[in-house]
A and B are shown apart, each in its own frame.
Chain A
Amino acid sequence: MPQFQTWEEFSRAAEKLYLADPMKARVVLKYRHSDGSLCIKVTDDLVCLVYRTDQAQDVKKIEKFHSQLMRLMVAKESRSVAMETD
Chain B
Amino acid sequence: MKDDEEKIFRVSDKLVMGVVGDSGDTTQFAEYIAKNIQLYKMRNGYELGPTAAANFTRRNLAEYLRSRTPYFVNILMGGYDKENGPELYFMDYLASSVKVPFAAHGFGGYLSLSIMDRYHKKDLTEEQAYEVLQKCVKEVHKRLFVSLPNFQVTVVNRDGIKVLPVIDSSSSK
Q: Verify that A and B bind, or say they do not.
A: no
- Residues of chain A touching chain B, judged by Cβ–Cβ distance below 8 Å, are none
- Residues of chain B touching chain A, judged by Cβ–Cβ distance below 8 Å, are none
